[in-house]
């Protein structure tokens, strides 16, 4: 495997470059859905769910890699991307999962190959546990599942969920430019921020400037962060680890060795929790491996599909080193 420094730079994929956006009205929520026209008829459906502060654009590179493999769609969770806030103001993991389930039921595309990153990983774990009929396979990239020893670098994100902290942070950082904020986010989320192309960086800045003008931007962030923290405290059958054990779908787990938000040490715990799982370990990746190494994540997913179709090997660990 070549060193990370010689791998292709991350390039942006904008609407109009093989993608389209549409708005879908559902009971209590309106979702923006990003898609690529399927390469051919009859491809199995897939749905991608982003993480905290992200959007459906986070999946554009992986969607392009899997063009011709699945008929992919990516949703903007309520309050993120181009989706307005939910009518009931519920940004909990359960609330986000309910929105995903409503979309899948309305679309009639299930069972789908379901993907989730970070917060989206917690959301899709809950979806797969409570509605196994909607999920063919589950792919989780750095899923936000409870950790006993949270990494120090993840604490500020969690603190956004404390009432008043988001407003305080906004006041304290009012002089920060969008460029400064984006550099901070990329330093936190990428294993190697230098792999982001200048064009992709400019596009991220433009998107953040647009999002910050929305009146509900910080509220959606804060309430969703609070939703993750609250989900971590739930016990019994509603606990995320208990729900992970209930997932029936073949599951691909992707963890990055340089992830500053989800501990790399959680990879093997997750592999034990999900009953039918395989693990892709990427030591040089950060929190968004599908954006840093889309070709490797796509390759592992193809193997998962083969396994789910009964033509692949048994589940196991794939340790890919850069």
Fold of 4-319: Rossmann fold (3.40.50)
In this prediction the pTM is 0.86
In which band, very low, low, confident or very high, does the pLDDT at 309 lie, cut at 50, 70 and 90? confident
Task: Specify the DSSP class assigned to residue 235.
Answer: -
| pLDDT, tens digit, 9 for 90 and up, residues 41-62 | 999 999 999 999 899 999 999 9
DSSP-derived letter for residue 229 is: H
Assess contact for 237 and 258: CB atoms under 8 A: no
pLDDT at 2: 29
Tens digit of pLDDT for each residue in 138-165? 999 999 998 755 554 444 444 333 444 3
Domain residue spans in the chain? 4-319
Q: Is 236 left (phi over 0), alpha (psi -120 to 50) or beta?
A: left
* Nearest of 72, 83, 3 to residue 35 by alpha carbon: 72
Q: What are phi and psi of 117, to 5 degrees?
A: -125, 130
**For the chain, how big is the Rg over CA atoms in Å?**
18
Question: Quick check: 178 and 212 in contact, CB under 8 A?
Answer: yes
Mean pLDDT over all residues of the chain? 85
Distance, in Å, from the CA atom of 293 to the CA atom of 56, rounded to the nearest integer, reads 17
pLDDT digits (tens, 9 = 90+) for 65-99: 999 999 999 999 999 999 999 999 999 999 999 99
Check if the beta carbon of residue 199 is closer than 8 Å to that of residue 207. no
Query: If you ran DSSP here, which 8-state letter would residue 28 be given?
Result: T
Please, what's the b/e burial string for 89-121 (b: 16 or more CB within 10 A of its CB; e: otherwise)? ebbbbbbbbbbbbbbbeeeebbbbbbbbbbbbb
> Does a cis peptide bond (omega within 30 degrees of 0) precede residue 295?
no
Q: Read off the tokens for 15.
A: 């609407």
> Which of the four pLDDT bands, split at 50, 70 and 90, describes residue 8?
very low
Distance CA 254, CA 288 (A): 10
Task: Give the pLDDT confidence score for residue 230 in this predicted structure.
Answer: 86
Question: Residue 249 burial (CB < 10 Å; 0-12/13-18/19+)?
Answer: buried
């Amino acid at each position: 495997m070549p060193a990370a420094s010689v791998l292709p730079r991350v390039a942006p994929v904008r609407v109009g470059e093989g993608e389209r956006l549409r708005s879908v009205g559902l009971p209590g929520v309106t979702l923006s859905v990003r898609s690529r026209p399927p390469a051919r008829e009859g491809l199995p459906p897939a749905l991608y769910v982003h993480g905290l502060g992200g959007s459906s654009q986070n999946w554009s590179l992986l969607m392009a890699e899997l063009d011709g493999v699945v008929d992919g769609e990516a949703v903007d969770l309520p309050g993120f991307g181009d989706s307005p806030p939910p009518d009931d103001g519920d940004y909990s993991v359960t609330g986000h999962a309910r929105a995903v389930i409503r979309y899948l039921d309305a679309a009639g595309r299930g069972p789908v190959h379901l993907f989730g990153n970070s917060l989206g990983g917690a959301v899709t774990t809950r979806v797969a546990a409570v509605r196994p009929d909607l999920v063919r396979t589950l792919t989780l990239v750095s899923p936000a599942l409870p950790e006993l020893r949270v990494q120090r670098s993840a604490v500020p994100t969690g603190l956004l969920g404390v009432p008043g902290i988001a407003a305080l942070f906004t006041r304290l950082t009012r002089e920060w430019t969008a460029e400064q904020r984006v550099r901070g986010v990329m330093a936190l989320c990428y294993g190697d921020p230098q792999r982001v192309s200048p064009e992709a960086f400019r596009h991220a800045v433009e998107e953040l400037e647009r999002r910050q003008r929305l009146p509900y931007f910080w509220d959606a962030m804060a309430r969703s962060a609070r939703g993750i923290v609250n989900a971590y405290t739930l016990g019994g059958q509603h606990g995320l680890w208990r729900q992970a054990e209930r997932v029936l779908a073949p599951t691909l787990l992707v963890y990055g060795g340089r992830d500053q938000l989800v501990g790399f040490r959680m990879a093997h715990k997750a592999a034990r929790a999900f009953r039918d799982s395989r693990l892709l370990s990427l030591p040089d990746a950060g929190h968004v491996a599908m954006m840093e190494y889309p070709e490797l994540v796509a390759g592992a997913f193809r193997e998962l599909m083969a396994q789910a179709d009964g033509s692949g090997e048994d589940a196991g660990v794939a340790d890919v080193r850069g």
